[in-house]
Chains A and B, each alone.
Chain A
Amino acid sequence: GAVVSQHPSRVICKSGTSVKIECRSLDFQATTMFWYRQFPKQSLMLMATSNEGSKATYEQGVEKDKFLINHASLTLSTLTVTSAHPEDSSFYICSASKETQYFGPGTRLLVL
């Protein structure tokens, strides 16, 4: 149990385009979902906390207009990187939570 999926697993896009990443909890309803970035050989950096039906809470320094989060249901949250630039290239990881966070496999984004 407690499986979290992410789609796509890898995406390459041109600078200026937008990219949507989906996070789904497959076998449980998550009250909260979290979005992280992970830089090479570093820990996870929390970007935002997403609760179903309400606005996401962004961490300090994370641009909410650039990283749009929609939490449509208790099993689905999406992160849209708008007008992506090369510096947005990273590994994006979501987690779905009841009391314990269960992590998705991550999405590697490369912006050319």
Chain B
Amino acid sequence: AQSVSQHNHHVILSEAASLELGCNYSYGGTVNLFWYVQYPGQHLQLLLKYFSGDPLVKGIKGFEAEFIKSKFSFNLRKPSVQWSDTAEYFCAVTPDYTSGTYKYIFGTGTRLKVLA
């Protein structure tokens, strides 16, 4: 079955530390890839997405992600986190967008806590 794995369930970092959150998917075909963030009490917001082209994608708030097709990975990175980055981060994959149905498969989420 198609799945998305986020291996880090909880991450605690100090401000200014670098961040990398893992995302791996199990699907051999062409995919669209997304990272969303959910701040406490707020709705999911799109951080960045990859459809095609440059595998290094830059998003909002200083986040970036790299698509490595051979590793089926789409890891999220930020060189220096801030206290305001405390949130839950979700990776999502659209494994069958060619059918016109952009149904997501979500990862289980990674809860990030940044200590001031």
A residues adjacent to B (C-beta < 8 A): 31-32, 34, 41-44, 46, 49, 93, 95, 97-106
Contacts and interface: CB of A to CB of B under 8 A. Distances in A.
B51 interface: yes
Interface residues of B, number: 23
A4 B49 CA distance: 18
Contact of B102 (A32, A93, A106): A32
Interface string B21-55: 00000000000101010000011111001010000
Contacts of B104: 34, 46, 101
A43 B97 contact: no
A98 B108 CA distance: 23
A41 B51 CA distance: 29
Given A99-B32, A100-B34, A100-B49, A44 B43 contact: no
Nearest to A36: B106
B44 A93 contact: yes
A102 B104 CA distance: 12
Closest 8 CB pairs of A and B: A103-B44, A105-B43, A43-B108, A43-B106, A43-B109, A97-B102, A103-B43, A44-B106
Contacts of A106: 43
A99 B108 CA distance: 22
A103 B45 CA distance: 7
A99 B107 contact: no
A42 B88 CA distance: 10
Interface in B69-116: 90, 92, 97, 100-104, 106-109, 111
A43 B34 contact: no
A102 B101 CA distance: 14
Given A44-B90, A105-B42, A105-B43, A100 B106 contact: no
